[in-house]
Amino acid sequence: MGRNEAPPPGDNEAPPPGDNEAPPPGDNEAPSPGDGSTQTGPAGHVGVPAALPPSAEPEPEVPVGGLMPPGAPPDPAGMFQSAKDLLSPSEAARQLPWLVGELTKIALGQSDLEYGAKDARFKDPTWTANPAYLGLGHTYRLFEEWAGRMVGAVDASWERKARATYLANIMTASLAPTNFLMTNPAALKRAFETGGRSLVNGSRNMLRDMAAGGMPKMVDRDALKVGEQLACTPGAVVYREDMFELLQYAPQTPTVRSRPLLMVPPEVNRYYVLDLAPGRSMVEYAVENGLTTFMMSWRNPREELGHGRWGFDDYVAATLRAIEIVKDITHNETINVLGACAGGMTNTLALGVLAAKGDSSVNAATYMVTMMTNASPNVVGMLSSESSQKLLDQAAAANKVVPGSALKTTFAFLRPNELVFNYVVSGWLLGEHPPAFDVLAWNDDATALSARFSADTGRIVMNGSAAVPGGITSQGTPIDLAKVTCDSFHVAGFTDHIVPWPNCYDLTQLLGGEKELALVKSGHIQSFVNPAKTAKYGYWTAPAGGPDPDAWQAGAMWHGGSWWPQWLDWMLARSGEAKKARVGLGSRAYPPLGPAPGTYPLE
């Protein structure tokens, strides 16, 4: 076995939930500083704190949530209790006079309820021109408002209230009249215009999706091949082991900076969210601007191969191995690192281990949508409880792996209107072929996740142990993040529903060194898939200040366009002198094993 093909690692501990999100619409205009703290839900969404979207997690094998009373069946994610909170008989009785009054107004044609300006479900003019459809639409809007009132009346912890919100959003989204043929005027018109062909196509699409598990198909992945249209920046695999492949990208400039950059992607889904299509790839952008770039490509874990033993600490150990290999290949004593979401969490603890040992191998770090604490309401906190942690620990002890299909469904129901029922309508009712779109294709290319990793993530975030010096141990070493003194650049999404931006800001308070933060006016994935030439989203930026994120934002500077150029300037200033680019990839000890994107993204 060659030096760049390693045996499998051992086992330990691990984290996160996910990262699956479709792109929200965006713009480059700066809202007022208070704009994203809360979000009330017009049109298709029950009111919910912006940091707290509807959410979900693993499935049957690995339920996430509380338990019912003794003798009752398990309650995944504590949802039975949340259903009781949502459907409180006393609150329903209190809302009854208002509800009857509103129904009377609808019957008399005097309702002042309106469709949301951005609610595409009701854009067909029939919803306002036809009295029957207008009454139906108003009744549905009343149902949404009633559900919002019921959620608002839940007097419990934010976690329980968030679970009630999650259920309410699924309930209202699933019962929208636009989801059904006879109450969707656009679908009926399409059927008439096509002589029924749209119904035939829609039936075919529905049968296809039912055979594949029941979720509507959201993207045409056949048109976007990994290694051809996606993940196609030229490079080579220079190291392979059971947990990951290490890719080195070919230089595209006559000279390159002497200090290399190692990218650590999320452990959930494929690495190529950082190397999407040409023109939309952060890898491509880095290489085109003279950065010697490496990428870890995590393997899709398989239970039958024993990958259920992989925990968070195993991923930290793998990252430390990758750092040493990059140093060896490039003959450097120090490198720069970049981590996204769960990959940023992994980097954080890896740097904590290095700092505890007095190892200065990392010169500068970039953290994209990364949180280490439960500072603000978030998806992990919503789904975590003492009971759910016990269930996950039991699955972890049995080395279980959560299938990718379960994770994909989970994250789709974070935004049921946009990521589920939108495609029920377009695919099943209108008979349309799904679009070919790079972010959706990546989102659909789901990978599995070890239960151990998921359990560890929840424990790290919920316990807040990373915020306490010595509160968390990795690689047998107590971690004090304040001793991580390298400079760091942080990226957060203003409307991120998975990793709320105040939690990203909180990480700047835990680390030492000089910290810069870019707050992008977008959601989770689009905050870092923000190409320099075609960016839709502007951002605020400033050095990290005191502990109050809102005070930081109030003093930050607004910029139109992408944050990539500012990050590039920051990175180039920390990447050493320019030198002539090498012709070959890898080294004598780590020769190329095959072209990028490698074999693991195809498993």
For 278, list phi and psi in degrees, rounded to 5: -50, 135
Q: How far is CA 567 from CA 99, 292, 371, 496, in A?
A: 52, 15, 19, 20
CB distance 371 to 381 below 8 Å: no
Q: Does the annotation mark 341 as catalytic? A: yes
- DSSP letter string, 73-131: PB-GGGHHHHHHHHT-HHHHHHHHHHHHHHHHHHHTT-------TT-GGG-STHHHHSH
User: What one-character DSSP code corresponds to residue 28?
Assistant: S
- CA–CA distance, 29 with 98 (Å, rounded to integer): 38
Report the Cα–Cα distance between both ends of the chain, in Å, rounded. Answer: 22
The amino acid occupying position 468 is: V
- CA–CA distance, 421 with 478 (Å, rounded to integer): 46
The amino acid occupying position 323 is: I
**CA 562 to chain CA mean position, Å:** 19
CB distance 482 to 511 below 8 Å: yes
Q: How far is CA 593 from CA 301, 326, 598, in A?
A: 21, 15, 9
**CA 534 to chain CA mean position, Å:** 21
* Tokens coding 229: 């249209």
**CA 318 to chain CA mean position, Å:** 22
User: What one-character DSSP code corresponds to residue 39?
Assistant: B
The amino acid occupying position 541 is: T
**CA 213 to chain CA mean position, Å:** 22
Determine what percent of the chain falls in helix, strand and coil, rounding each to the nearest 5. Answer: 40, 15, 45
- Three-state DSSP state, 297: strand
- Three-state DSSP state, 521: coil
The amino acid occupying position 128 is: T
CB distance 497 to 53 below 8 Å: yes
* Tokens coding 585: 């990839």
- CA–CA distance, 281 with 528 (Å, rounded to integer): 10
Look at the alpha carbons of 277, 280, 282, 287 in this order and tell me if their dihedral is positive or negative.
Answer: positive
Residue with tokens 């003019």: 125
CB distance 356 to 330 below 8 Å: no
Q: Which residues contact 205 (CB under 8 A, 6 or more apart)?
A: 216, 217, 427, 428, 431
* Burial (CB count <10 Å: 0-12, 13-18, 19+), residue 153: middle
Q: Annotated active-site positions, please?
A: 341
